[in-house]
């Protein structure tokens, strides 16, 4: 007969980054207001573009922070069997959408600037751009480690990274305008800042959708996992195998193991669980062990 087994899912990878995200949120929000006001007063598209990126940082970091808190507080229940961990993935997807929106807005604004370029005072842009650069460096250092472990934190980190480079672009724009008076420096760099974010937003959104569609993790070869399980002593066949990501750092698997007549189902189950943990870092696996006289029904889907 079948045997179901699984270990606890544990904490998501982003749970330990609440404090860095909160600090990043506060610093970024303060400098976003400064850049937006200065950009509006001076008419600098590059500065407004960078402020818009900072707005997505504020919203994105805020969503990432809220998603982590929601996932931590919303415990598993009879109806929420996996808790609210997917909130972190949704936050990452919304961050990607925000980044696309900013790129579209900046490009639209730049068209008007190219047709009728306006004089932009370089010194205020230069000063505020440097202040924004310091804020982005601070947030970048706070979130760099978490970006390697959590898709949710990576969404916030990518926005901060694009903003960091955007602030450098603002400095270049301010310097060119201050020293040469060339009117096209501001819109050109504004567009460059907007376009820089597009491939990163695409990658972030694609990874979030992979998780939401329950695709297998990119780093895992499902056929290879099935082959490894098939080599466990007593296993005759492996079928109906599924591997997906609940949220960053939490891979989940299920599979049916058809055992030979002389195999001990309990021994096979324990060995398979150990293999998944040791070789593939899968903590949560539900394995159904099928004896020769008991097989699962074939499903049409």
Residue-level pLDDT at 273: 95
pTM of the model: 0.72
Residue-level pLDDT at 254: 95
Per-residue pLDDT reduced to its tens digit, 107-158? 777 777 777 665 555 566 677 777 778 887 888 888 877 777 777 777 778 7
Residue-level pLDDT at 57: 75
Instruction: Quote the percentage of the chain above a pLDDT of 70.
Output: 84
Residue-level pLDDT at 14: 52
Residue-level pLDDT at 33: 85
Residue-level pLDDT at 121: 57
Residue-level pLDDT at 199: 82
How high is the mean pLDDT of the chain? 80
Q: How far does the chain reach from its first CA to its final CA, in angstroms?
A: 23
Residue-level pLDDT at 218: 87
Low-confidence ranges of the chain (pLDDT < 50): 1-5, 7-10
DSSP codes joined into one string, the chain: ------------TTGGGHHHHHHHHHHHHHHHHHHHHHHHHHT-HHHHHHHHHHHHHHHHHHHHHHHHHHHHHS---SS-TTTTTHHHHHHHHHHHHHHHHHHHHHHHHHHHHHHS-----HHHHHHHHHHHHHHHHHHHHHHHHHHTT-HHHHHHHHHHHHHHHHHHHHHHHHHHHHHH--TTHHHHHHHHHHHHHHHHHHHHHHHHHHHHTTPPPTT--HHHHHHHHHTSTTEEEEEEEEEEEEETTEEEEEEEEEEPTT--HHHHHHHHHHHHHHHH---EEEEEEE-TT--PPPP--
Residue-level pLDDT at 3: 47
The domains located in the chain, with CATH, are 15-212 (1.20.1510.10), 222-290 (3.30.70.1350)
Residue-level pLDDT at 118: 59
Residue-level pLDDT at 12: 55
């Amino acid at each position: 007969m079948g045997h179901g087994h699984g270990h606890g899912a544990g904490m998501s990878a982003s749970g330990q980054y609440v404090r860095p995200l909160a600090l990043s949120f506060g610093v970024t929000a303060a400098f976003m207001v400064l850049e937006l006001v200065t950009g509006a007063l001076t008419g600098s598209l590059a500065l407004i573009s960078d402020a818009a990126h900072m707005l997505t940082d504020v919203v994105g970091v805020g969503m990432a922070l809220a998603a982590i808190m929601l996932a931590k507080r919303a415990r598993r229940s009879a109806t929420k069997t996996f808790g609210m961990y997917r909130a972190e993935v949704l936050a990452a997807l919304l961050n990607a959408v925000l980044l696309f929106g900013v790129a579209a807005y900046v490009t639209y604004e730049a068209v008007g600037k190219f047709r009728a370029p306006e004089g932009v005072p370089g010194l205020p842009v230069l000063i505020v751009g440097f202040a924004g650069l310091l804020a982005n460096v601070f947030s970048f250092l706070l979130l760099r480690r978490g970006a390697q472990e959590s898709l949710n934190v990576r969404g916030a980190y990518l926005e901060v990274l694009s903003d960091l480079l955007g602030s450098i672009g603002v400095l270049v724009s301010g310097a060119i305008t201050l020293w040469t008076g060339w009117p096209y420096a501001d819109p050109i760099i504004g567009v460059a800042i907007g376009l820089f974010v597009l491939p990163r937003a695409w990658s972030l959104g694609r990874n979030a959708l992979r998780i939401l569609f329950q695709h297998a993790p990119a780093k895992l070869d499902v056929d290879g996992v099935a082959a490894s399980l098939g080599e466990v002593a007593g296993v005759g066949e492996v079928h109906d195998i599924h591997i997906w990501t609940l949220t960053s750092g939490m891979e989940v698997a299920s599979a049916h193991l058809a055992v030979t007549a002389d195999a001990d189902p309990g021994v096979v189950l324990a060995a398979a669980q150990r293999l998944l943990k040791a070789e593939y870092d899968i903590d949560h696996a539900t394995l159904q062990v099928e004896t020769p006289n008991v097989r699962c029904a074939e499903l049409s889907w």
